[in-house]
Amino acid sequence: MRTDTGETIRLEDYRPTDFVLERVDLTFELDPAATKVEARLIFHRREGADPKAPLVLDGDELTLTALHLDQTELEAARFDAGAEALVIRDLPASEPFEIMIGTLIAPESNTKLMGLYRTSNVYCTQCEAEGFRRITYFPDRPDVLAPYTVTIIAEKTANPLLLSNGNFLGGGNYDEGRHFAAWFDPHPKPSYLFALVAGDLGVVEDTFTTASGRDVALKIYVEHGKEPRAGYAMDALKRSMRWDEQRFGREYDLDIFMIVAVSDFNMGAMENKGLNVFNDKYVLADPETATDQDYANIEAIIAHEYFHNWTGNRITCRDWFQLCLKEGLTVYRDHEFSADERSRPVKRVAEVRHLKAEQFPEDGGPLAHPVRPTRYREINNFYTTTVYEKGSEVTGMIATLLGREGFKAGMDLYFDRHDGQAVTIEDFVRCFEEVSGRDLKQFSLWYHQAGTPVVTASSAFDAARGTLTLSLEQMVPPTPGQSAKAPMHIPLRFALILPEGQVATPSAIEGGDVTGDVLHLTERQQTVTFAGLSGRPVVSLNRGFSAPVNLHLEQSAEDKALIARFDPDLFARWQALTDLALAELVAATQAVKAGQAVAVSNLLVDALLATAGDAALEPAFRAQALALPSESDIARAIGTGNDPDAIHAARIFVVRHVAQAGQTLFATLIDEMKVEGPFSPDAESAGRRALRTMALTYLSHAEENPARAKAAFDTANNMTERAHALALLAQVFGDTPQAAHALSDFRTRFADNPLVMDKWLSIQAAAPGHAALERVQTLMKEASYNALNPNRVRALVGAFVFSNPTGFNRPDGAGYQFLADQVLEIDRRNPQLAARLLTAMRSWRSLEDRRADAAAQALGKIAAAPDLSADVSDIVERTLK
């Protein structure tokens, strides 16, 4: 049985601390096995607080070495140092006092990567959400804000670099080969934004002059020799800083901004004040080693962490239930940035694909939770696509309701009113209510009700009266802990499209709440009538994916095809194409299961090929249009009793069919889309490569022959095309000598680059078929694999469980058993990583019986294991419920 259950924390139990923290002064004497931390904390009792209340500080795996009150050692009777808390009694009723705490920690044996740890001989910290308590006893919660002074003492030759938050105060020699540096961060911050880095790293430097004329030093620290690969990150940083000034009027607020890239990191990156720490995967790039997707990720994540400086750091969360206050909003801001820097419709298509692939299954399964949850057992498990991506969608809907100017005004008020504070979602929403005079009470259900709303819509045209009646209905499915749901405020962008793509303008709209091109669905059922129409228009609904809902629009395939070809809104075209394709893929799967012949309609093939061949459209969009719904999209559309093998077979059949029909076009595109000249990661060139590689995928399927892919692999002069060709060879032509040759060539070429070898591992882990498990187990013995590094684990085990439906879900359940064993083993070192891998089981109930039984058995094995972490026990119990 588990020992570490983690108590349930409830939003309604929130209350402020009894003591106010005024200042923090930290001194670190770094040593891999025995780091000494001295924390001096100035507190005073909060006005109105119980004069007898003890001071309760959080702690986790700490050794207490000293405890003083105002320079005097505290007698044992006045405190209790437990495993998770330090409780101090009989403290002054009103005047400030200083607590000095000495702790001893061992960074080299910190395998959880929370708190102070070692990565490639560098000292590094990760404190969000509750890692600071692994450094010293502290009120480790986001509503306790204070300015920090930090002094770092360390051996000089191994650690020439000593970094922390804020501005550099000074430094110098210390004793016996040691030196020191001191930093002061004047901006009051919560402990989760604390950071310390020490070691020997290379640096790329630049400067940025803010709109008001202040110079900011920019530094990106990477391992020696990797400096040339940090140039794109620096470029993205400067563009982010300028954009936040121009779009949101937000300037940077310290003399220096630093980014450190580390090779062991549980997440993507962390927004510590003035000292962001990044997973090196999201910093390092060059044409030889990075794909266009890598470049786009770097740009987005650099921007995301930088934008947190205002949305997260200057204004932070009152408690962890408010996580979406900083994350949903900051994702919205980084999406807007990428949309402005690249192609807005293409960016939107990619966002919606990601939302549907990751967030919709979460919202429809046992791990569903509201964007602003009200309880948790382990906060690490709430860094989810619901909080991040759905949180961003909710922010985007506020912008849809208020318009660009209204949204900007609400943000201005938010920055103005709450700067320096730790606030709630209610505080945020109130700003938009006040600037707009709108009541957002019903809208706020988006934060509180989990589950993806289902909107059903149908239309009827009355030719004699020239009216179109649109009938809408909404339903929010039950989710864990929430069985009955109230109707939501769903803003649906729409247009009435005429046969050549013109947008019809009705003379009157009756019965609905419509502002501009937004229809507000606020009741369970609503009917809207558009009058004054001379011909029957086709309804284009939820344009731009204005609301994150599952839309069932009763519409003929012909009408969908018309939108796919002629809607002036590119996103709507993509949506219509996807809907058309998905319906046929579902039907194809049913045919495969029934042993019948699979049919693909000419309508779909024509729509796909017409879009792919339309030179008036940007190549990146055409590539998105050609990318058929994924196997998990199909599984979600089917809903229950899923057989991943049937889905795979059906999808391959449809791909081959489209490929054969478009063979000439695909061959032409491969030539036309070739990018000449030196490599550039810009969006246009990347779009051409995306269409070119997509054409290669189809053509290879049509020819049923690896020759073209092998030639593309051999002649590629950039990683995008090289990795694509390798994936094609390994995943479609896996048993051929060409695939074997390319895999071994790739390994030889990039053996010394772990981030590139991650691609090599992932590509093989995701190759479909029941033999994938044995392949993965063999790859675990490769020199490039390292079970202790989270990026390697995610690249191999993660790719297998998340991106290989046929391999992972093989009918004998061996894939699930493998995941269970991995989770249990990894849990002993790194619970966060283990818990995240385990979420791959979240859709197990939608599988056909045999697989579902096998999945339940593997989950049961995990649940019954002794000494589970709170992270894993929380996920496994919710998944089984």
Residue of 271, 305, 389, 631 marked catalytic = 305
Please report how close the Cβ of residue 443 comes to Zn ion at its closest, in angstroms.
Answer: 23
- In order, the DSSP letters of 733-749 are STTSHHHHHHHHHHHHH
DSSP, res 382: G
* Nearest residue (CB) to ligand PHE, 260 versus 686: 260
- From residue 329 to residue 368, the character string flagging contacts with Zn ion as x (rule: CB under 5 A) and all else as - is -x--------------------------------------
- Residue 792 interacts, among Zn ion, ligand PHE, none and using kind-specific CB cut-offs from 5 to 8 Å, with none
CB of 805 vs ligand PHE, minimal distance in Å: 28
Q: Which two tokens stand for residue 776?
A: 């993965």
Q: What separation in angstroms does the CA of 451 have from each of 248, 292, 364, 383, 552?
A: 31, 33, 6, 17, 16
Compute CA distances 597 → 580, 650, 673, whole Å: 19, 10, 35
CA 435 – CA 402 distance, rounded (Å): 9
Residues 6 or more apart whose Cβ sits within 8 Å of residue 858: 813, 816, 817, 819, 820, 841
Interacting partner of 636 out of ligand PHE, Zn ion, none (Cβ under 5 to 8 A depending on kind): none
The smaller minimum CB distance to Zn ion, of residues 389 and 631, is found at 389
Give the number of residues in contact with Zn ion, rule: CB under 5 A.
2
Answer yes or no: are the C-beta atoms of 593 and 649 closer than 8 Å.
Answer: no
Smallest Cα–Cα separation from 266: which of 834, 877, 851, 874? Answer: 834
Supply the minimum distance, in Å, between the C-beta of residue 616 and ligand PHE.
Answer: 38
DSSP assignment string, 511-568: SS-EETTEEEE-SSEEEEEEE--SSPPEEEESGGG-S--EEEEE--HHHHHHHHHH-S
Closest separation between CB of residue 128 and ligand PHE, Å? Answer: 4
CA dihedral defined by 396, 401, 407, 410, rounded to 10 degrees?
-110
- 642 touches, from Zn ion, ligand PHE, none (C-beta below 5 to 8 Å by class): none
Q: Token match 């909107």: residue?
A: 455
Our CB check for Zn ion shows the closer of 330 and 693 to be 330
Q: If you search the block for the tokens 């849809």, which residue do you land on?
A: 400
Contact predicate 167/215, CB 8 Å: no
- What tokens appear for 741 in the block? 């040759």
DSSP 8-state secondary structure symbol assigned to residue 311: B
Q: Which is nearer to Zn ion, 327 or 433 (CB)?
A: 327
**Given the complex with Zn ion, which of 313 and 540 has the nearer CB atom?**
313
Q: Which does residue 269 touch among ligand PHE, Zn ion, none (CB within 5 to 8 A, set by kind)? A: ligand PHE
Token pair 């895999």 is found at: 743
Shortest distance, position 279 Cβ to ligand PHE, whole Å: 9
For the bound state, the minimum distance from the C-beta of residue 538 to ligand PHE, rounded and expressed in Å, comes to 40
Closest of 51, 25, 18 to residue 141, by C-alpha: 18
Residue closer to ligand PHE by CB (options 185, 645) is: 185
Range 97-116, binding Zn ion (CB under 5 A): none
- Dihedral pair phi/psi, residue 478, rounded to 5°: -65, 150
The 3-class SS string of 772-809 reads: HHHHHHHHCCCCCCCCCCHHHHHHHHHHHHHHCHHHHC
Least CB distance from residue 829 to ligand PHE, whole Å?
17
As given in the structure block, the two tokens for residue 382 are 């709430």
Residue 143 contact among ligand PHE, Zn ion, none, beta carbon within 5 to 8 Å by kind: none
Cβ closest to Zn ion, residue 143 vs residue 389:
389
Q: Count CB neighbours of 416 within 10 A.
A: 9
Q: Which partner from the list ligand PHE, Zn ion, none does 223 bind, CB cut-off 5 to 8 Å by kind?
A: none
Rounded to whole angstroms, the Cα distance separating 519 from 524 reads 14
Minimum CB separation of residue 596 from ligand PHE in Å reads 47
Judged by CB, which is closer to ligand PHE: 389, or 721?
A: 389
Contacts of 817 (CB under 8 A, 6+ apart): 854, 858, 861
Shortest reach from residue 316's CB to Zn ion, in Å: 12
Q: What spatial distance separates the first Cα and last Cα of the chain, rounded to whole Å?
A: 17
Residue placing its CB nearer to ligand PHE in the complex, 58 or 327: 327
* Structure tokens, 261: 């890239």
Containing 469, the helix (H) or strand (E) segment is strand 467-475
Residue 386's binding partner among Zn ion, ligand PHE, none (Cβ under 5 to 8 angstroms by kind) is none
Beta bridge partners of 179: 154, 173
Residues 225 and 713: their CA atoms lie apart, in Å, by 27
**CB nearer to Zn ion: pick between 279 and 330:** 330
Nearest residue (beta carbon) to ligand PHE: 267
**Interface mask toward Zn ion for 317-336; x: CB under 5 A:** ----------x--x------
In residues, how long is the chain?
881
**Torsion sign across C-alpha atoms 656, 660, 665, 669:** positive
Residue among 271 and 362 whose Cβ is closer to ligand PHE: 271
Closest residue by Cα to residue 747 from 755, 757, 735, 736: 757
Quick one: what does residue 321 bind among Zn ion, ligand PHE, none, with the CB cut-off 5 to 8 Å set by partner type? none
Closest separation in Å from C-beta 321 to ligand PHE: 15
CB of 150 to ligand PHE, least distance (A): 20
What's the min distance (Å) between Cβ of 294 and ligand PHE?
18
Binding-site partner at residue 632 among Zn ion, ligand PHE, none, CB < 5 to 8 Å by type: none
The rounded distance, in Å, linking the Cα atoms of 270 and 505 is 48
> β-strand 454-462 against 550-554: which pairing, if any?
parallel
Query: Closest distance between ligand PHE and the C-beta of residue 327, in Å?
Result: 6
Contact in structure between 347 and 310 (CB atoms under 8 Å): no
Q: Is 786 exposed, middle or buried (0-12, 13-18, 19+ CB in 10 A)?
A: middle
Interaction site with ligand PHE (CB under 6 A): 126, 128, 267, 269-271, 304-305, 327, 383
> In this complex, which beta carbon is closest to ligand PHE, that of residue 326 or of residue 348?
326
305 is an active site residue: yes
How far is Cα 567 from Cα 561, in angstroms, rounded to an integer?
10
Distances (CA, A) of 830 to 332, 668, 790: 30, 50, 9
333 vs 485 by CB, closer to ligand PHE: 333
CA distance 371 to 325: 10
Where does this chain bind Zn ion (CB under 5 A)? 327, 330
Known catalytic residues? 305
